[in-house]
């Protein structure tokens, strides 16, 4: 028993993985002391996109429901923090978790009708919801500032936002580890993705499983939006509800590997940092969009299960060959 516990390590992963993750966390903690402000901003953005992609992958990767309205939760979180801080006077440390609760409530309200449909109907419904939220924010000028935007109190130091995003990233990974790998819900979601009818026949409450994961997805995305809103100091509906937020989450998850634990993180690192490097080299996002579009096509054609999925498939194939040779 003791040897088994030693091999499993903390959180049920190998001790070597624990040491590797610990070293990575130490590097991330001291990173703001080692890099210029510009690169710290890119690091903060990368962490944010990793969190957003992780939250989208919960519903899109693990259940197969393509949510093209994920920006709605991001924007709701940004405005929730802004309204609570500027209109109500609640400090950020309390407004942020409240924004997560609000994002979860919105996800439940959206999921109750939309999770009863599948495929393109669900995708269109979620996209329409995000667009509706954008229009509502534009019209509710007294609360949201309308098209002129909502201003946050400014902070001259960017490091608190980096550490806030890092904290959310780490908590998201830990929470998803327990939810997906250490509880029955992970198995439920895989069963739902593979075949809902069979999952129902197995006794799984399919709708409950989808609603729970959709709510968690909304909570995480809303908190990422809340940190982002305070960080950039001024938000407007066209910025925090834009479809590009949902698109980026989809592309990052696709690159890294849909339905994999680390895939969205790898995808966020490649897509966002790659985009910034292209912009630094050529001074334009146009070429980046062209390159990204071509890369998405190549991934869809040759590695549809993403980078991590392809690596896992290759590892499994090598292991099978070794067993056959034995």
Query: At which residue do the structure tokens 């499983």 appear?
Result: 209
Three-state DSSP class for residue 326: coil
What's the confidence (pLDDT) of residue 47? 96
Average pLDDT over residues 26-44: 91
Q: pLDDT band for position 12 (50/70/90)?
A: very low
Residue 284 pLDDT:
63
Span 37-60, pLDDT tens digits: 889 999 999 999 999 999 999 999
pLDDT in the model for residue 321 = 44
Place of tokens 């049920």: 12
Instruction: Report DSSP state, residue 154.
Output: P
Directed axis angle between helix 71-83 and helix 119-139, to 10°?
30
Tens of pLDDT, residues 150-179 = 999 888 788 999 999 999 999 999 999 988
From CA 107, how far away is CA 70, in angstroms rounded? 10
Eight-state DSSP code of residue 241: T
Q: Mention every residue, 6+ apart, whose C-beta is less than 8 A from residue 31.
A: 40, 43, 162
Q: What is the pLDDT of residue 21?
A: 82
Any idea which of 8-12, 91-95, 99-103, 274-278 has the lowest mean pLDDT? 8-12
The torsion of the CA quartet 10, 14, 20, 23, rounded to 10 degrees, works out to 20
pLDDT (tens digit, 9 = 90+) per residue, 103-138? 999 999 999 999 999 889 999 999 999 999 999 999
**CA separation, residue 13 to residues 7, 71, 173, 309, 311 (Å):** 8, 33, 13, 19, 19
Please provide the size of the chain in residues.
326
Average pLDDT over residues 209-225: 96
Task: Return the pLDDT at 312.
Answer: 66
**Is the model's pLDDT at 93 over the cut of 60?**
yes
323 contact partners, CB below 8 Å, separation of at least 6: none
| pLDDT value of position 133 | 95
Dihedral sign, Cα of residue 312, residue 315, residue 320, residue 321: positive
How much is the average pLDDT of 31-36?
90
pTM value is 0.88
CA–CA–CA angle 181, 186, 187 (5° rounding): 115
Write down the pLDDT at residue 15: 59
Give the pLDDT score at 82. 96
Range list of β-strands (E), 136-285: 150-151, 234-235
69-77 mean pLDDT: 96
Mean pLDDT of 246-260: 90
Specify the pLDDT at position 313. 63
- Which residue do the tokens 């990974």 mark? 173
Query: Which tens digit of pLDDT belongs to each residue from 273-313?
Result: 888 887 777 766 666 677 777 777 777 777 777 787 777 66
pLDDT above 80 for 3: no
- Angle (CA) 68-297-45 rounded to 5° is 55
pLDDT for 306:
78
State pLDDT tens for residues 188-207. Answer: 888 888 888 888 888 889 99
Partners of residue 254 on adjacent β-strands: none
Mean pLDDT of all residues in 233-253: 93
Q: Could you give the 3-state DSSP secondary structure of residue 285?
A: coil
Task: Name the one residue in this structure whose structure tokens are 């959310």.
Answer: 168
Q: Is the pLDDT of residue 229 over 90?
A: yes
């Amino acid at each position: 028993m003791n040897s088994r516990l030693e091999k499993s390590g903390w959180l049920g992963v190998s001790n070597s993985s624990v040491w590797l993750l610990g070293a990575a966390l130490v590097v991330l903690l001291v990173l703001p002391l080692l890099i210029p402000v510009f690169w710290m901003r890119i690091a903060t953005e990368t962490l944010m996109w990793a969190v957003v992609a992780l939250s989208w992958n919960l519903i899109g990767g693990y259940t197969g429901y393509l949510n093209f309205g994920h920006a709605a939760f991001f924007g709701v979180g940004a405005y929730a923090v802004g309204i609570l801080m500027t209109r109500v006077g609640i400090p950020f440390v309390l407004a942020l978790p409240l924004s997560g609760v609000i994002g979860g409530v919105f996800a439940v309200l959206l999921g109750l009708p939309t999770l009863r449909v599948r495929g393109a109907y669900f995708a269109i419904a979620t996209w329409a919801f995000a667009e509706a939220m954008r229009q509502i924010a534009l019209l509710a000028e007294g609360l949201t500032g309308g098209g002129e935007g909502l201003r946050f109190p400014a902070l001259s130091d960017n490091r608190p936002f980096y550490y806030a995003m890092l904290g959310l990233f780490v908590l998201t990974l830990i929470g998803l580890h327990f939810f997906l790998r250490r509880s029955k819900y992970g198995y439920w979601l895989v069963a739902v993705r593979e075949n809902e009818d069979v999952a129902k026949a197995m006794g799984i409450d399919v709708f409950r499983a989808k609603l729970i994961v959709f709510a968690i997805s909304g909570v995480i995305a809303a908190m990422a939006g809340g940190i982002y809103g305070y960080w950039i100091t001024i938000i407007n509906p066209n910025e925090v509800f834009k479809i590009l937020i949902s698109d980026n989450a989809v592309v990052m998850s696709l690159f890294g590997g849909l339905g994999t634990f680390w895939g969205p993180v790898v995808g966020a690192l490649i897509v966002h940092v790659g985009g910034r490097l292209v912009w630094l080299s050529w001074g334009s996002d146009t070429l980046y969009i062209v390159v990204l579009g071509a890369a998405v096509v190549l991934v869809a054609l040759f590695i549809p299960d993403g980078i991590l999925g392809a690596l896992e498939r290759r590892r499994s194939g090598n292991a099978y060959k070794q067993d056959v040779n034995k």
